[in-house]
């Protein structure tokens, strides 16, 4: 079994033991610490397998015998699970109370982690599909454990309904692949490959949250407790893309250019749509959920570009695009996990995450605020952090697709490049708004003015994630060649701290980071060598009032007005006056989710109407059902006797 | 390191740090002349900077570390961009590479720092400008990336040195793709430098500011930083235009001459453009940039229609 | 001998469809099972396990289950009889017609004689039709019992005989289902005040 296998086993046992002890003992703290340790062991196993390049355990097999194993790609995704799982469980130690709800949530966390790990290590169709289902069901259970109100129940219902209806594509694809022996190393080709590609695209992109099958994500992610949201957003949706990678890159013979182009189109739509709707949100967790859609879109763009490069015969760029997608998956896990944990910390300190009613939290909660700001800068794709490195690599891949030799491919690449560039700028816009509203300015509620810093465990987990963001931003070149080797084409890239890719001017991350830090500190010293005069902020002579402060809707108004035709914002102003004196003015504005009104609404209404019609068959009479039975039997017998049925 | 790269390095640093305010001064002077006024002398920005350098800064009441850091970050990132520019087709190896996308990323960092600072002081004026600035940036970045796609077509590389080398090849100028990129880049220049018709750099009314907004809360050396950074953006954009989008002769000295003449000519063109045009409605600017994007896509299609490669 | 048994089965099934009183129907079914069980005992290969099993089946089907059903009927004595059932002749006619139709459609499936085959299929069909044409809830359980008797007859006439485990399985199945049916009949009486299964339609929303 070797060291990595032993590490995996030890990690899994630690998580299971942690879950059990959290459920049985009085406080879940010890159990969650055991789960954290287990995740660290799993991270070590993943890194070991990734670095050594040797697979461990069983390989993929097409028959239905349960088997587990670990290869490079699985090891990488194990690392992704662990870098979010370990801090999240540490965070939960301080976030969960020692009552029944806290203990059951700790058990649910352990079960979720085991389901994620099991999915990544599954090597045959039964374990793959079994853990896929568990991966969907356990967070639903966790949400319902934490909240039982109507909104939570409806959100979980929508989540389960959409992921199961869309996820049937996964079942179909996997079973067809297993039936034709494609899992064991003979890629499936021909017409059936196109069908499997469609089914797997629909199935995995529903779970990953790509538009237009994303409607469950903004409903379900805000409902869960902070650490479960971090795991769902950071890890669970990436594992859906892991499944897509396995199907499209390893188990199917290339079905044609259309798969890559479709994936790129879906990715571009998710990118732009996700970040646009994120900008228009006024609640922090829902905003972060829409951003997950955007980042999953970026990963999908990278994967689609990799497929297209493979089909037009450029193996080096195919590997680079693949590495970019995987790197962005890891980076997004890191900073999205950090942002969700930060949101959980703010929620614990202040209670409520309406953006317009926060503010001034950087001074009251310096650690949480600073790490949250760092995470926001990373997700906005600013140098020298990790978001910039992976977005740079993805942009380079798309740009080089735009200069390819075939006009259709070049147009697709150029449009995707423009979409990703616009997305990056929109992400900057969105996170300037978030940081400004949450951390800066004046506190807008008394709870914000009196907020205190969260316990050490929560802070430590966020600091770890922020540090990883910086580390991966400064040293991405250590990971990218290994990732490129995992992809199609088997290409080896230049090793180093920065990203040195042929056909570009290179991204020397270490030098850039050092230069920035040195210059900034020198300039700050120079500017502040004279004492600054304290003065109040000029707001026409009044003291700054929170009632006159900018809101989220106000800051995003220019974009909302420009894209009015696309977003269709709705606005209602009601003025109540009596005897000529205005008594109250109510203003309500909303950007409705167009997908809900145009796509999901009609579909669900039609389905309900059809179900209503089908219901008339159910008369409620036992004898009627027996008559149906006998009639069907008679019909079948008659058909058999007359030879129609074989 | 050859003589050419040494000279290029000197021009990079000196031109950017010392020469950038002269461009702004020249444009202001020319505008005034065209409008029939006497106007400030060309070297006025230097006097402004010296005056501001001697003054003390301000610490507004509700402020955090971000207020202190933002001007420094803006200046640092703009200064690093200076070291990425090719001068006459050459650039010394400062260890920062020469990638076009890194340039775009660093300018985004500068914009981020400035717009975030607008939130810090709890004053509302800066935010109006910041919101518009960020809205423009969404469309400007998309357009800029499309221009870079067109520029990367000949030599399949985003390295600025390769792209400027491609501008010396005559066959590149025979195809409409590069001309389309040049026209679209003119729109980018106007948007990034904050000149009319996109933005009015002379206004300080909150209802009409875009780039100037966050500058309201600063004084002293920090304001000097920010004014220099705005001037440096002019230098960066004009040098990029000259290096990448004007037909070049081969030898280094000739390229330097073309660079100098080009920067001057483009400054004059900017001044004329500002005098002739009125400021556009903020909501119509994305339409203008969108037409630039359509032009780029046409250029891309024409490249492949003409035979690709 | 076989002919008498089969004819007895068919006649008693038809009689169950016609009679009005439930206790009479239960007695008919008990007699049917008794006759069939005695016939099975005489047919057995005389090994002790086979004898024991057949004996168990006989006791269960002829004594235990009818007693359970009688108990249920006794408890629900105080209610109005179901007046709106189909007339007896109509019931008989429908049942006979449907059973004959099904019999015609089924091909030969390998029993020891064509007559036994027809009888077995006919009794099975008659059992299900009892549940269809009678409205009292009790008759659903009785119909199931009759259908089971038909299957048992078919099993007795198999070329190799019926394996012991299948016999045991069948009787276990039967015990469970009839117990549950009896419990439900009692519950329905309790809730709706009468054993009319048509009243269950009112529960649908």
Angstroms from B96 CA to nearest CA on chain A: 6
Are chains C and B in touch, 3+ Cβ pairs below 8 Å? no
In-domain check, residue A612: yes
List the beta bridge partners of residue A584.
A576
CA-nearest residue to C100 within chain A is A634
- The pair phi, psi for residue A152, each rounded to 5°, is -65, -40
CA-CA distance, C99 to A324, in Å (whole number)?
A: 71
3-state secondary structure A192-222: HHHHHHHHHHHHHHHHHCCCCCCCCHHHHHH
**ipTM of this predicted complex?**
0.94
Residues shown for chain B:
309
- A426 vs B: CB within 8 A: yes
Angstroms from C103 CA to nearest CA on chain A: 10
Same domain, A409 and A433: yes
CA-CA distance, A107 to A126, in Å (whole number)?
A: 24
Asked if B56's CB is within 8 angstroms of A531's CB, the reply is yes
Provide the domain count of chain A.
3
Q: Rounded mean pLDDT of B276-284?
A: 87
* Span C54-93, pLDDT tens digits: 888 888 888 888 888 888 888 766 555 555 677 888 888 9
* Span A547-601, pLDDT tens digits: 778 888 889 999 998 998 888 888 889 999 888 898 888 888 888 888 887 888 8
Six token digits for residue A40: 């660290």
CB A487 within 8 A of CB A393: no
Provide the domain count of chain B.
1
If you search the block for the tokens 């590149």, which residue do you land on?
Answer: B172
CA atoms within 13 A on the CB side of A221: 34
What b/e readout covers A121-138, taking b as 16+ CB neighbours within 10 angstroms? Answer: bbbbbebbbbbbbbbbbb
- A440 vs B: CB within 8 A: yes
Angle, helices C114-133/C88-105, rounded to nearest 10 degrees: 140
Residues 13-72 of C with CB under 8 A from A: none
The number of beta carbons lying within 10 Å of the beta carbon of residue B262 is 18
Q: Rounded mean pLDDT of C1-8?
A: 80
Asked if C131's CB is within 8 angstroms of A626's CB, the reply is yes
Asked if A626's CB is within 8 angstroms of C128's CB, the reply is yes
pLDDT at A637: 84
**Helix, strand, or coil (residue A384):** coil
* Span A158-193, pLDDT tens digits: 999 999 988 899 999 999 988 888 887 778 878 888
What is the Cα A513 distance to its own chain's centre? 27
**Measured between beta carbons, which residues in chain B are less than 8 angstroms from residue A557?**
131
Which range of A56-60, A312-316, C44-48 scores highest in mean pLDDT? It is A312-316
pLDDT at B70: 92
Q: Is B246 exposed, middle or buried (0-12, 13-18, 19+ CB in 10 A)?
A: middle
* Span A42-72, pLDDT tens digits: 999 999 998 888 888 888 888 777 888 898 8
What is the residue range of B194's domain? Answer: 3-305
In-domain check, residue C203: no
What is the residue range of A630's domain? Answer: 594-641
CB B183 within 8 A of CB B245: no
**Measured between beta carbons, which residues in chain A are less than 8 angstroms from residue C102?**
630, 633-634, 637
Residues shown for chain C:
205
Same domain, A470 and A581: no
CA-nearest residue to B219 within chain A is A532
pLDDT at A569: 85
pLDDT at B308: 62
Same domain, A433 and A384: yes
CA-CA distance, C116 to C108, in Å (whole number)?
A: 11
Six token digits for residue B246: 């004007």
**Helix, strand, or coil (residue A124):** strand
Same domain, A495 and A575: no
pLDDT at B224: 92
- Is the predicted pLDDT of residue B15 greater than 80, yes or no? yes
CA-nearest residue to C136 within chain A is A623
- Is the predicted pLDDT of residue B16 greater than 80, yes or no? yes
Same domain, A634 and A567: no
When the pLDDT of each residue in chain B is averaged and rounded to a whole number, the result is 89
What is the Cα A263 distance to its own chain's centre? 17
* Span B182-229, pLDDT tens digits: 999 999 999 998 888 888 887 777 677 788 778 888 888 999 999 999
CA-CA distance, C199 to A235, in Å (whole number)?
A: 53
Same domain, A483 and A346: yes
Provide the domain count of chain C.
1
Nearest Cα to Cα of residue A442 among B251, B121, B20: B121
Same domain, A499 and A586: no
Distance separating the N- and C-terminal Cα atoms of chain A: 52
In-domain check, residue A544: no
Asked if B95's CB is within 8 angstroms of A508's CB, the reply is yes
Q: Is C204 exposed, middle or buried (0-12, 13-18, 19+ CB in 10 A)?
A: exposed
- Is the predicted pLDDT of residue A448 greater than 60, yes or no? yes
Q: Rounded mean pLDDT of B124-130?
A: 85
| Cα angle: A605, vertex A608, A614; to 5 degrees | 145
Asked if C107's CB is within 8 angstroms of A641's CB, the reply is yes
**Measured between beta carbons, which residues in chain A are less than 8 angstroms from residue C197?**
621-623
Asked if A363's CB is within 8 angstroms of B112's CB, the reply is no
In-domain check, residue C48: yes
* Span A116-159, pLDDT tens digits: 999 999 998 888 999 999 999 999 999 999 988 999 999 999 99
Q: Read off the DSSP letter of residue B306.
A: T
- B269 vs A: CB within 8 A: no
CB C143 within 8 A of CB C131: yes
* Span A486-496, pLDDT tens digits: 888 767 777 77
Interface mutation target, options B145, B228, B307, chain A, most CBs of A under 10 Å? B145
Please tell me whether the peptide bond between A212 and the residue prior to it is cis, using omega within 30 degrees of 0.
yes
| Radius of gyration in angstroms for the set of CA atoms belonging to chain A, rounded to a whole number | 26
What is the residue range of C101's domain? Answer: 2-77+86-197
**Helix, strand, or coil (residue A573):** strand
Asked if A630's CB is within 8 angstroms of C129's CB, the reply is yes
Six token digits for residue A297: 């879109």
Same domain, A465 and A606: no
pLDDT at B200: 82
- The pair phi, psi for residue A577, each rounded to 5°, is -135, 145
Q: pTM score, two decimals?
A: 0.83
> Of all residues in chain A, what percent carry a pLDDT higher than 70?
99
H or E stretch including A446? helix A446-449
């Amino acid at each position: 079994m070797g060291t990595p296998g032993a590490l995996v086993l030890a990690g899994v046992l630690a998580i299971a033991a942690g879950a059990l002890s959290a459920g049985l003992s009085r406080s879940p703290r010890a159990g969650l610490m055991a789960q954290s340790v287990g995740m660290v062991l799993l991270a070590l196993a993943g890194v070991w397998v990734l670095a050594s390049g040797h697979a461990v355990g069983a390989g993929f097999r097409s028959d239905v015998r349960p088997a587990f194993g670990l290869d490079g790609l699985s090891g990488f995704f194990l690392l992704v699970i662990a870098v979010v799982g370990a801090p999240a469980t540490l965070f939960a130690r301080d976030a969960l109370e020692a009552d029944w709800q806290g203990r059951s949530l700790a058990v649910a966390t352990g079960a979720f982690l085991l389901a994620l790990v099991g999915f990544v290590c599954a090597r045959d169709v039964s374990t793959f599909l079994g853990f896929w289902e568990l991966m969907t069901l356990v967070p639903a259970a966790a949400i319902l454990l934490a909240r039982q109100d109507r909104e939570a129940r409806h959100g979980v219902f929508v989540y389960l309904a959409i992921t199961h209806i869309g996820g049937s594509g996964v079942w179909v694809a996997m079973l067809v692949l297993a039936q034709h022996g494609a899992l064991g190393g003979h890629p499936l080709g021909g017409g059936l490959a196109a069908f499997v590609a469609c089914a797997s695209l629909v199935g995995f992109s529903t779970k990953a949250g790509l538009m237009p099958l994303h409607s469950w994500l903004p409903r379900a992610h805000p409902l869960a407790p902070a650490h479960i949201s971090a795991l769902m957003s950071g890890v669970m949706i990436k594992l859906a893309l892991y499944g897509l990678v396995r199907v499209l890159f390893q188990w199917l013979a290339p079905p044609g250019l259309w798969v890559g182009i479709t994936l790129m189109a879906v990715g571009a739509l998710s990118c732009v749509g996700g970040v646009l709707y994120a900008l228009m949100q006024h609640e922090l967790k829902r905003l972060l959920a829409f951003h997950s859609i955007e980042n999953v879109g970026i990963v999908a763009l990278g994967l689609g570009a990799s497929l297209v490069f493979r089909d037009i015969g450029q193996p080096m760029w195919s590997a680079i695009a693949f590495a970019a997608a995987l790197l962005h998956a890891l980076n997004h896990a890191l900073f999205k996990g950090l942002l969700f944990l930060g949101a959980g910390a703010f929620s614990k300190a202040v209670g409520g995450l309406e953006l317009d009613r926060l503010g001034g939290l950087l001074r009251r909660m310096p650690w949480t605020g600073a790490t949250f700001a760092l995470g926001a800068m990373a997700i906005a794709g600013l140098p020298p952090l990790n978001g910039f490195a992976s977005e740079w690599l993805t942009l380079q891949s798309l740009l080089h697709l735009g200069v390819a030799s075939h006009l259709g491919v070049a147009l697709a690449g150029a449009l995707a490049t423009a979409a990703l560039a616009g997305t990056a700028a929109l992400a900057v816009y969105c996170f300037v708004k978030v940081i400004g509203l949450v951390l800066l300015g004046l506190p807008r509620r008394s709870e914000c003015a009196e907020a205190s810093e969260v316990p050490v465990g929560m802070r430590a987990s966020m600091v770890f994630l922020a540090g990883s963001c910086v580390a991966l931003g400064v040293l991405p070149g250590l990971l990218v060649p290994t990732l490129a080797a995992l992809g199609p084409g088997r290409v080896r890239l230049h090793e180093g701290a920065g990203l040195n890719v042929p056909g570009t001017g290179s991204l020397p991350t270490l030098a850039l980071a050092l230069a920035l830090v040195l210059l900034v500190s020198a300039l700050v010293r120079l500017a502040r060598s004279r004492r600054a005069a304290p003065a109040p902020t000029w707001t026409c002579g009044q003291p700054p009032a929170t009632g006159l402060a900018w809101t989220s809707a106000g800051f995003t108004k220019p974009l909302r007005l420009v894209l009015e035709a696309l977003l269709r914002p709705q606005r209602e102003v009601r003025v109540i006056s009596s005897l000529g004196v205005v008594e109250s003015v109510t203003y309500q504005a909303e950007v409705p989710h167009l997908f809900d009104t145009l796509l999901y609404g009609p579909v669900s209404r039609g389905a309900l109407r059809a179900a209503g019609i089908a219901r008339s068959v159910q008369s409620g009479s036992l004898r009627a059902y027996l008559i149906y039975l006998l009639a069907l039997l008679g019909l079948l017998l008659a058909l058999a006797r007359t030879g129609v049925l074989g | 390191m050859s003589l050419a790269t040494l000279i290029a390095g000197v021009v990079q640093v000196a031109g950017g740090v010392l020469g950038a305010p002269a461009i702004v001064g020249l444009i202001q002077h020319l505008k005034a002349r065209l409008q029939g006024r006497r106007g400030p002398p060309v070297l006025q920005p230097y006097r402004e900077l010296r005056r501001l350098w001697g003054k003390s800064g301000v610490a507004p009441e509700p402020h955090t570390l971000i207020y202190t850091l933002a001007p420094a970050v803006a200046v640092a990132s703009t200064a690093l961009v200076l070291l990425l520019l090719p001068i006459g087709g050459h650039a010394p190896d400062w260890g920062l590479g020469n990638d076009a996308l890194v340039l775009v990323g660093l300018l985004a960092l500068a914009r981020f720092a400035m717009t975030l600072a607008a939130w810090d002081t709890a004053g509302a004026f800066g935010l109006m400008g910041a919101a518009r600035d960020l809205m423009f940036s969404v469309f400007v970045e998309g357009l800029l990336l499309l221009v870079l796609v067109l520029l990367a077509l000949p030599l399949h590389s985003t390295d600025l040195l390769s792209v400027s080398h491609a501008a010396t090849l005559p066959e590149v100028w025979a195809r409409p793709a590069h001309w389309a990129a040049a026209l679209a880049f003119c729109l980018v220049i106007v948007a990034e430098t904050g000149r009319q018709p996109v933005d009015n750099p002379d206004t300080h009314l909150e209802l009409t500011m875009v780039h100037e907004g966050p500058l309201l809360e600063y004084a002293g050396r920090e304001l000097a930083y920010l004014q220099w950074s705005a001037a440096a953006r002019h230098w960066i954009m004009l040098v990029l235009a000259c290096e990448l989008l004007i037909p070049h002769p081969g030898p280094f000295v000739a390229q330097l001459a073309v660079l100098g003449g080009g920067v001057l000519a483009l400054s004059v063109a900017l001044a004329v453009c500002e005098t002739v045009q009125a400021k556009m409605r903020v909501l119509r600017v994305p339409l203008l940039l969108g037409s630039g994007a359509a032009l780029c896509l046409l250029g891309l299609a024409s490249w492949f229609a003409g035979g690709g490669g | 001998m076989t002919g008498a048994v089969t004819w007895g089965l068919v006649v008693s099934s038809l009689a169950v469809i016609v009679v009005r009183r439930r206790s009479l129907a239960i007695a008919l079914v008990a007699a049917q099972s008794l006759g069939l069980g005695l016939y099975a005992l005489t047919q057995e290969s005389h090994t002790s396990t086979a004898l024991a099993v057949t004996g168990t089946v006989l006791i269960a089907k002829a004594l235990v289950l009818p007693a359970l059903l009688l108990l249920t009927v006794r408890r629900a004595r105080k209610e109005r009889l179901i007046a709106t059932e189909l007339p007896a002749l109509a019931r008989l006619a429908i049942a006979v017609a449907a059973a004959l139709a099904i019999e015609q459609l089924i091909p030969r499936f390998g029993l020891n004689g064509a007559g036994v085959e027809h009888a077995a299929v006919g009794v099975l069909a008659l059992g299900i039709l009892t549940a269809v044409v009678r409205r009292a809830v009790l008759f659903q359980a009785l119909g199931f019992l009759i259908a089971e008797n038909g299957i048992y007859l078919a099993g007795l006439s198999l070329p190799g005989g019926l394996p012991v485990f299948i016999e045991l399985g069948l009787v276990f199945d039967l015990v469970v289902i009839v117990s549950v049916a009896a419990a439900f009949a009692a519950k329905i009486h309790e809730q709706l005040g009468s054993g009319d299964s048509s009243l269950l339609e009112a529960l649908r929303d």
